[in-house]
Chain A
């Protein structure tokens, strides 16, 4: 019997377009408090699921029906856990 593999956390910038991921409570810790509070209020809060729409310098993610535009600097500081699409 093998131990379950711990979830892999990657910077949002490394999530391929079209892939989904979840945001956990410590995912935004690397951001300044002002940015963190704003993102949380905009819907990028604890346990939310997002879909990467567009990577690169103008990163676009979708949370529910909301599309958020993030600079590469912000996206690189958001840690997400990719969702296995087969599950």
Chain B
């Protein structure tokens, strides 16, 4: 091993063993989340700083065996074998003391590969509470590797574990070759007997599965056909109402900050192309996306808390029968729930679904789930539709989610009864113990997902914003005679000492020039050409242009409209929502009529307005024909439903 490069250790183990908590405690805020090359399986990597040198720690996904034909198992096996890059210098086996026999069977499949290993014995406090006191030294002797009691929650044994792992990694010391690890797979009697022997020598006694009355009661309630569904709907309602209301405060603060920044640029720089680009294109573009970051962070924070409590697994099991009615397995619940944050991780996580037909149906219906990119559009349109009744806006917002779920499940049923007809694979999952969620873990998850959103915003969204600004700013139009006349009057007002009147006149002149620019820009020409297609939805050329650009990313809709509105708005911008409400079409009518708002809202719930999702669908489903089917189906029903909504509301 090269001493200049930190040793690499990987954490492996069964799910729910405290592995990720251990990783977070070792690496903390320095961790990053990414995929292995050529894989959609996520892992976390971070640097653990120790006296005498750091080690790189990789947290692999929790698996039950390295030999299963599942993506996580294959990735773990490939990573340990060095088929995904340089082989790790050591493996840390995370063993749950409360379920040691099964964990030991998994450990045997790693140990017999001869890689340098050290084991972390976790959950020992829970084991002691159940009267189980295990001797790590005895387990270590039987396994032929160091075994260290460690806890990510309390910090016990962390330093010792990290130093031991680095020591093993530096020496590349394999497990004791004299120990005959079972060659059989985990779960076979040979492997189970081997694990039982180690367990008993360490102080464990074979006991019958006990009953925890609280767990029994909660499980019965959460998986009850009626109570379970009621609990799920209540949880989701509270979740999304919290996002809508709580996030409002930081959103307002960010909105004000971005507005002040743009205003500073306008006041500090001389008028011209560069000033317009910075204030409207760059700051306006970033701000229109950044303002919704609190909602995204809050969503992932709450989802992480829910997952940590153990509730989400029960919800998936409870929903299995319901989802079967739509041809989907219970495992589709989590990908569809993830798609409410973003369709990309949702589609990626469909790899957990073993059946191909089940998986394809889930991929094709996942983009119907209302992702966070739709939130800016929903917030804008619900706010415009129900400006004086926030509670109605909240109901409309929740209704968008319900409509997306209904359309997605309906699509899944249609697919599973036609082109994807056939039997799927059934639900099998571990139900983790109920526990108090870790705020730290939830914060780290929220941070990771928010950073991912920002990375996307900083690349795709900003690029589109700049292109949109260019399309709106060029070709440059000359000031119209009316605006020139207004400026002359303004100069006269200044000379007369009436500064207020002069400012109003200049603002009016700028508004006229901006409207002229908007009408003659490249964006206007594109919008004009395509606008007849969207006429039945009540869209004019500006909104048509916004819909077209938002195909690359839905949230760009708000940004595109904001740029167009600001270009024709007063420089003392009273706020994005106010600008949108006051915006007019070329004929002077409101840009956002009630009918148009309703049509756009329905359209954005149902339309496949996301190029990255389309590309990922083609990759994950195994061909562009599936992606094009998804695009055609979603666009068609979005257009039809939008046109109907416009007719009904405008009537």
Binding site for B on A (CB under 8 A): 20, 25, 32, 34-35, 37-51, 53-54, 57-58, 60, 62-74
Bound: A72/B427 CA distance, A: 9
Complex CA distance for A53 and B219, rounded to whole angstroms:
9
8 Å CB contact of B431 from A43, A44, A60: A60
14 intermolecular pairs with C-beta atoms under 8 Å apart: A34-B425, A37-B185, A38-B70, A39-B187, A39-B428, A40-B186, A42-B102, A43-B99, A43-B102, A44-B187, A49-B208, A58-B321, A60-B223, A72-B321
Which chain B positions have C-beta within 8 A of A41? 64-65, 67-68, 106, 185-187
Residues of B within 8 A of A (CB): 64-65, 67-70, 98-99, 101-102, 106, 130, 185-189, 191-192, 208-211, 215-216, 219-220, 223, 225, 228, 313-314, 316-318, 320-321, 324, 329-330, 354, 425-431, 433
- The closest CB in chain A to the CB of B228 belongs to A58
How long is the Cα–Cα vector from A73 to B215 in the complex, in angstroms?
A: 24
Out of A35, A49, A51, A62, name the residue touching B428 (CB < 8 Å): A35
Do A71 and B192 touch across chains, with their CB atoms under 8 A apart?
Answer: no
B191's nearest neighbour on chain A, judged by CB, is A45
Complex CA–CA separation, A47 to B316 (angstroms): 28
- Cross-chain contact B430 with A66 (CB below 8 angstroms): yes
A25 to chain B, nearest CB (A): 7
Partner of A35, one of B130, B426, B430: B426
**Contact at B69–A34, with CB atoms within 8 Å?**
yes
A51 near B68 with CB under 8 A, answer: no
Complex CA distance for A63 and B208, rounded to whole angstroms = 9
- The distance from the CB of A78 to the nearest CB of chain B, in whole angstroms, is 10
Among B189, B321, B433, point to the contact of A47 (Cβ < 8 A): B189
B320, chain A: closest CB distance, angstroms: 5
A67 contacts B215, C-beta separation under 8 Å: yes
In the bound complex, residues from chain B placing their C-beta under 8 Å from that of A42 are 64, 102, 187, 428, 430
Chain B contacts of A66 at CB under 8 A? Answer: 99, 102, 430
What's the least CB distance linking A80 to chain B, in Å?
A: 14
Shortest Cβ distance from A37 into B: residue: B68
Shortest B36–chain A CB gap in Å is 22
Asked if B430 and A47 make an inter-chain contact with CB atoms under 8 angstroms apart, the answer reads: no
Nearest Cβ on chain A to B122's Cβ, whole angstroms: 13
Name A43's contact: one of B187, B427, B429 (CB within 8 Å). Answer: B187
